[in-house]
A = this chain, B = another copy of it.
Amino acid sequence: MRLQLFSLLLVFFSLPSFANIGDMPKEQQLAVRYIKALTSQDYAKLTSFYNRDSVFNDRTASRKYTGKRHILSFLKRAHKGVLEYDFNIEHMFNSGSLVILIGNYHYRGPGEQFGKPGRIIDLAIPGVTTLNLDMTNNRVKEHQDLMDYQTMSDQLSTQ
């Protein structure tokens, strides 16, 4: 009984601040739709979020791509064969068209790209994603990631 109550409390604390996506500021709504297209690898939907000036910047990996074509080609390469991919957003806020998402990226998939060939690996990488949005055209002007690759590497070492 106590455990159930505790679990229930945990569920409440895990819920986002907004009960309904429609209650969120429109910038955060667009951000969530974009992140969903990204993590569900819906490239048909994802393509509408970028134009030739869009920038995808992983600052912690010093990796930067400009333009829809280069970004999509990178994402397709990076997420090849992935089994599960989602972003657990723990906190989100915005200042105008700048949206900040804090949480962890969960990844389950082939270990080839992580030096673990033939194995299925499971990662939860803490990260901060900052989106600079163009609200007139529903586009992502800049997607910037700050990822805790040390935690990723610690998780990989035991898999």
Whether B98 lies near A59 (C-beta < 8 A) is yes
Which of A33-41, A46-54, A78-86, A144-152 interfaces with chain B?
A: A144-152
A150–B98 CB distance below 8 A: no
Q: Which residue of B lies closest to A144 (CB)?
A: B130
Given A102-B102, A102-B128: A59 in contact with B150 (beta carbons within 8 A): no
Rounded to whole angstroms, the CA-CA distance of A115 and B133 in the bound complex is: 30
With known contacts A2-B2, A128-B128, A150–B93 Cβ distance under 8 A: yes
The answer to whether A95 has its CB under 8 Å from any CB of chain B is yes
Decide if A95 touches B59 in the complex (CB within 8 Å).
yes
In the complex, the count of this chain's copies comes to 2
| Interface membership of A135, Cβ < 8 A | no
Is residue A61 within 8 Å, beta carbon to beta carbon, of the partner chain?
A: yes
Contacts of A62 in B (CB 8 A): 95
- Inter-chain contact B148/A93, CB cutoff 8 Å: yes
Is A126 among interface residues, defined by CB-CB distance under 8 A? yes
Q: Does A138 contact B (CB under 8 A)?
A: no
Chain B residues contacting A146 (CB-CB under 8 Å) are 95, 98, 100, 128, 130
| Docked-complex contact A60 and B148, CB < 8 angstroms | no
Interface string of A121-148 (1 = CB under 8 A from B): 0000010101000000000000000111
> A15-47, CB under 8 A of B: which get 1 and which 0?
000000000000000000000000000000000
Proximity bits, A64-79, B CB within 8 Å = 1, else 0: 0000000000000000
